[in-house]
A and B are shown apart, each in its own frame.
Chain A
Amino acid sequence: MAKGRVSIVVERCKACGFCVEFCPSHVLALSSAFNSKGYHPPHVVHPEECSGCDLCGMYCPDFAICATKADPPRLPAKNADLAKAAKANEVTSAS
């Protein structure tokens, strides 16, 4: 069971490659799929290695990815918009 878990907001990604490069555990790689803007978002290739350090989240200039510890403290949605936004974006997660 991995220590951490990645969430990717696919539609925000511009495939800059920062997360892939700077993940210390090499968890990510750019996928061959496209989002609606034509970018290849990352996907998780080594989920078991994820430590939940969230360096991917800190590097991402597009706020399109973050990682949390496997049992993340559930933050309540601040308002209806946040829950809506999470629903609207494709959220993929790995555990």
Chain B
Amino acid sequence: MSDSLNTDLLNPVVNPVETFLRSDRIPHIWCPGCGIGTTVNSFARALIESKIDLGSLALVSGIGCTGRVAGYLKMDSFHTTHGRAIPFATGLKLANPKLNVVVYSGDGDLSAIGGNHLIHAARRNIDLKVICVNNLIYAMTGGQTAPTTPDHSVTSTNPYGVFEPSFNLPHLVEAAGAVYVARWTTFHVRQLSHAISEAFNKKGFSFIEVISPCPTLYQRRNKLGDGLDAMKYYKEKSRVRHGAPTSEVGMTMTGEIIVGKFVDRDRPDYQTMMRAQYAESLGDRFVEQPEMVCS
């Protein structure tokens, strides 16, 4: 190992992600080969690329491995209860419409316990950017079946193999009303970053699913190798199909993974509709919500 420190320490070479990290909390708790950290890199790049006002950013996560993202990012971040990141984020956004609110959570958190909130926020078209890191399992609690766990997978609560059909999240969220729906994997670092940027520039409910390895539980229990093996699988078996009908993008354990931007449409967002309705019904009597300054 070279010990020649020829980096100018007064002006260190800074990884672009570093400015967004609570460096005092790194190294993080995610396993070797877990893809969550990789998604954070894409997220950081998107923040830079989209030139979003960082002071307006608020990040909300739920419970689970992905839920820990909130704790590692240096911004106004909220680690809420299991499944309820979306309604919390809704409250934040409605009270302060100037905020850019991101929900960063896992597949179990968002589609199982949080499933009801997911579909209603999509229906209402609340202006939220949802990054759903889908590692096909409940990782934090030791590898239980999630609604996204593919058929025949072995988990701790389906020790003989999952026999339930799994959710096709892009299809679910499109049907519920989301205006931007994309899926990438942690192999597609640049495409993911670009998708997040696009979501930032779009008003309404955006949903970006990222397929990510869980080496310790999903990969290991199903004899699929480690994180790197998962990444190689994503590289080999992903097919980019922008605009593919979401009904066709369901996943299996070792089959093709359809990725791309599936939905990009325009619908007025919740607050736009709310104000329009009040203005129409109340005319002059409608009073716009003031800045919520209560100090």
Contacts and interface: CB of A to CB of B under 8 A. Distances in A.
Is A–B contact present in the complex under a CB 8 A cutoff? yes
Interface of A: 5, 7, 10-12, 14-18, 21-22, 31, 33, 39, 43, 55, 57-63, 65-66, 68, 72, 74-78, 81-83, 85-87, 90-95
B243 interface: no
**Most chain A beta carbons < 10 A, residue from B2, B37, B227, B231:** B37
Nearest to A72: B13
A31 B14 CA distance: 23
A92 B23 contact: no
Given A60-B37, A82-B18, A77 B11 contact: yes
B35 A93 contact: no
Contacts, number: 132
Interface of B: 1-19, 21, 23-24, 26-28, 30-38, 40-42, 45, 186-187, 189-190, 193, 226-228, 231-232
Contacts of A95: 6
Majority SS at the chain B contact face? loop
Contacts of A55: 189
B152 to A, nearest CB: 26
A93 B27 CA distance: 20
Contacts of A14: 27, 31-33
A11 B27 contact: yes
B32 A75 contact: no
Nearest to A34: B1
A68 B13 contact: yes
A21 B7 contact: no
B1 A63 contact: no
Contacts of B12: 75, 77, 82-83, 86, 91
A7 to B, nearest CB: 5
Contacts of A72: 13
Contact of B18 (A31, A39, A63, A74): A63
Nearest to A21: B228
20 contacts: A39-B32, A43-B2, A57-B15, A58-B41, A59-B186, A59-B231, A60-B37, A61-B34, A61-B35, A61-B37, A61-B38, A61-B227, A63-B37, A66-B15, A66-B16, A72-B13, A82-B12, A86-B9, A90-B3, A91-B12
A43 B37 contact: no
Given A18-B38, A39-B32, A92-B2, A76 B11 contact: yes
Contacts of A12: 26-27
Given A59-B38, A92-B5, 18 more contacts: A16-B32, A17-B33, A18-B231, A57-B41, A58-B41, A58-B189, A58-B190, A61-B227, A62-B26, A63-B26, A78-B19, A82-B18, A82-B23, A86-B7, A87-B9, A91-B7, A92-B1, A94-B2
B64 to A, nearest CB: 16
A68 to B, nearest CB: 6
A43 to B, nearest CB: 7
A90 B14 CA distance: 14
Given A18-B228, A55-B189, A91 B41 contact: no
B23 A62 contact: no
A88 B38 CA distance: 23
Nearest to B212: A61
A26 B231 CA distance: 17
A43 B13 contact: no
Contacts of B189: 55, 58-59
